[in-house]
Amino acid sequence: MWQSWTNAILGIWLISAAFLGLDPAVSIWNDLIVGVVVAISSFTIVKDKQWQGWLAMVFAAWTIIAAFVPPLTGGIGCVYNDLISGLIITIAGIASMGRKHEERLA
């Protein structure tokens, strides 16, 4: 359960980070879209479907990659924001898939 709340909070953070005005325009759209998808998928993780964890991990991987794409980086703060958010979303996505696997075995 903590996995879905963690991803929801980080999705909302990415949405709000897009509006802080610290990123270049391309990064704003990147953070906004990734934040919306991660937040929506994390709210549905509660329904015990494994695809939400995979979806969160795919978008987390993109967030990590986007931290190193020159047109998407607006400074070191934006890079760290994307890296840390992407890593935590990945960890929570993996943990949510493991939890569902254990519940199916029980």
Q: Where are the domains of the chain?
A: 2-105
Per-residue pLDDT of the chain (106 residues), as tens digits, is: 677 778 788 888 888 877 776 666 667 777 788 888 888 877 766 555 667 777 777 888 888 888 787 766 667 777 888 888 888 888 887 877 765 545 555 5
pLDDT at 1: 66
Per-residue model confidence (pLDDT) at position 23: 61
> Which pLDDT does position 88 carry in this prediction?
87
Q: Is 105 exposed, middle or buried (0-12, 13-18, 19+ CB in 10 A)?
A: exposed
User: How far apart (Å, rounded) are the C-alpha atoms in residues 106 and 92?
Assistant: 21
pTM over 0.75: no
Output DSSP code: residue 106.
-
Taking the C-alpha atoms of residue 79 and residue 65, their distance in angstroms, rounded to an integer, is 10
Q: Using only C-alpha atoms, what is the Rg of the chain?
A: 14
